Amino acid sequence: MNRDLSILIPSRNEMFLAKTIDNILENIEGNTEIIVVLDGAWADPPITDDPRVIIIYHNTSIGQRAATNEACKLSKAKYVMKVDAHCSFDKGFDVKLMADMHDDWTVVPLMKNLHAFDWICPDGHRRYQGKSGVCEKCGKETTKDVMWEAKASPNSVSYCFDSEPHFQYFGDFAKRPEGQGDITPTMSLQGSCFMCTREKYWELNLCDEYFGSWGSQGIEVAVKTWLSGGQVMCNKKTWYAHMFRTQGGDFGFPYKLSGNQVENAKKKAKEIFFNNKWDKQIRPLSWLIEKFWPIKGWTQEDLDNLKKQNNEEVITKGIIYYTDNALNMRLASMCRKQLMKAGLPIVSASLKPMNFGKNIWIKEKRGYLTLAKQILAALEASESDVIFFCEHDVLMHPNHFKFTPPTKDKFYYNQNIWMLRSSDGFAVHYDCNKLSQLCCYRDLAIEYYKDIVARIEKEGFSMKTISFEPGTRDNRWEAWKSEQPNVDIRHDNNLTLSKWSPKDFRNEKYCVNWQEGWEIPFWGKINFR
């Protein structure tokens, strides 16, 4: 009988294997089987005798990856799902996953933590799963009390890896708009559970024994899926709970696991994927990094170095930040902290010395000429190819900095900007070109602001003849909109006037896509009172 799904379980001396299998049998609702490999030892306690369970036994251990492959060789199902031998599952998890599956996806359910057991003494004192021994309260011997409950939190749905590479939880991505919804992408995997088609499993060699028995499996599976043109998704409509290893040998790693083996798997992952040496990839690793940017454990320098070692075009990005140092410190600090999430080098130009990025002190009074000099000085001090203009009173979402100007001869404005009235939290949006939302190549900006400084010094400043928004008067600009908006905080000390109603426009043709309210998409309510 051909099955729709084969659950593959590599197991060696796993004390909760039988419990895991019973839990799967209790919760599957589809045409699903379990193929378990007893890798060097019989199951203790024994596995339930059930026609949906196939057992392979090896006298001598062949290793976790090899055991998973052996299980997959027996499968005739469309889908396979590798699972650790210490997990519990949601009711109907199999049919829920298959219902939304795509053939080029690798999918993982939402992951919970499994509360497998407690230690309990004769007096009823409990200690959460950990090292065995006497009760810490009364000194009496303890026995294991199996709980087998999925904990309410945490609920893990997004994962990544850093530049080493080390596995990381990626909670920041889960908070982004692209991390919202029932089925969302994840850069990497945890490794204890994943599902794909059997065809893709073998085509991509998702348990390559070259990596060794154990280590970096989540990275291997996820990166191979992404770089070959597929997607790695978390289906939050269902869940599994994974028991994490405890200290003291009571539930340690059943395979002999040395630091060298883990480092070897990590080294091989870096050797293959970081050097674009995998023969089935159609995308470079830099593509994956940029897709999920910003990423915990990655700096812009890390990404640039990755591109350089693979002879990819490197377009460096940087931020210039200008301030008159008159802004409320709480507000200024909030904006600077948010700006640092971009992970880009910052050159600040200020009217007082400050410790923010590479600082340039302009010893002049606030004004239009001074502002032009600040911008020019910061541009000239930056070493980046592409520059993002950032002001001291704007909250910048990190996705703003994903943009790369397609040409070197135009100025680009992010029009996904909301204006927030700091006095009461009222906010408005309309399509507009603001200096704080400008992005362009550095050489183009230097040329423009050199001319602005020279003209103001010679003629004085006039809004009729001089524009601080480059390209808007000679049609050398284009607009784009980031996925999430930025927030321009309007206060008593702004250099430009604010518009809080369509009636404030002299010409109504400039009031495009007007929106207003007390909440800003992604940011929600922001109130400074």
Reading the block at residue 304, the tokens are 């640039």
Q: Count CB neighbours of 184 within 10 A.
A: 17
Q: Which of 55, 76, 45, 46 is nearest to 10 (CA)?
A: 55
- Residue 49 and residue 5 in contact, taking contact as beta carbons nearer than 8 Å: no
431 HSE (CA, 13 A, CB side): 10
- Residue 119 and residue 132 in contact, taking contact as beta carbons nearer than 8 Å: yes
Element (H, E) at 53: strand 53-58
Q: Tell whether 528 is covered by a domain.
A: no
369 and 279 belong to one structural domain = no
Element (H, E) at 260: helix 259-273
Longest dimension (CA), the chain: 92
Residues linked to residue 277 through DSSP beta bridges, in sequence order: none
**Lookup result for tokens 């309510």:** 525
Q: Tell whether 145 is covered by a domain.
A: no
- Residue 320 and residue 375 in contact, taking contact as beta carbons nearer than 8 Å: yes
CATH number at residue 256: 3.90.550.10
386 and 497 belong to one structural domain = yes
Element (H, E) at 36: strand 32-39
Q: Tell whether 118 is covered by a domain.
A: no
187 and 265 belong to one structural domain = yes
Q: Tell whether 190 is covered by a domain.
A: yes
Q: Tell whether 466 is covered by a domain.
A: yes
- Residue 413 and residue 477 in contact, taking contact as beta carbons nearer than 8 Å: yes
At CA 95, angle to CA 94 and CA 97, rounded to 5? 70
269 and 181 belong to one structural domain = yes
Q: Which of 215, 204, 212 is nearest to 279 (CA)?
A: 204
237 exposed, middle or buried (CB, 10 Å; 0-12, 13-18, 19+)?
middle
At CA 300, angle to CA 312 and CA 372, rounded to 5? 110
204 and 75 belong to one structural domain = yes
* SS (HEC) of 443-496: HHHHHHHHHHHHHHHHHCCCCCCCCCCCCCCCCCEEEECCCCCEEEEECCCCCC
Residues in the chain: 529
Distances in whole angstroms, Cα of residue 475 to Cα of each of 471, 472, 507: 6, 6, 19
User: Is 168 strand, coil or helix?
Assistant: strand
Give the residue from 253, 277, 292 where a domain finishes.
Answer: 292
- What does the pLDDT read at residue 5? 98
Q: Which portions of the chain are predicted below pLDDT 50?
A: none
User: Is 498 strand, coil or helix?
Assistant: coil
Domain encompassing residue 350? 317-517
Q: Does pTM top 0.85 for this prediction?
A: no
Q: How far apart are CA 383 and CA 344, in angstroms?
A: 12
Q: Count CB neighbours of 45 within 10 A.
A: 10
328 and 403 belong to one structural domain = yes
67 exposed, middle or buried (CB, 10 Å; 0-12, 13-18, 19+)?
buried
Q: Tell whether 41 is covered by a domain.
A: yes
402 and 483 belong to one structural domain = yes
Q: Which of 82, 20, 24 is nearest to 218 (CA)?
A: 82
Q: How far apart are CA 251 and CA 133, in angstroms?
A: 13
Q: Tell whether 529 is covered by a domain.
A: no
Q: Tell whether 433 is covered by a domain.
A: yes
DSSP for 123-151, please give it. T--EEESS--SB-TTT--B-EEEEEEEE-
Reading the block at residue 27, the tokens are 């919760």
- Residue 364 and residue 370 in contact, taking contact as beta carbons nearer than 8 Å: yes
257 and 337 belong to one structural domain = no
Q: Count CB neighbours of 65 within 10 A.
A: 23
Q: How far apart are CA 345 and CA 316, in angstroms?
A: 10
339 and 272 belong to one structural domain = no
406 and 277 belong to one structural domain = no
Count: domains in the chain:
2
91 and 187 belong to one structural domain = yes
422 and 475 belong to one structural domain = yes
Q: Which of 224, 208, 241 is nearest to 88 (CA)?
A: 241
Q: How far apart are CA 306 and CA 303, in angstroms?
A: 5
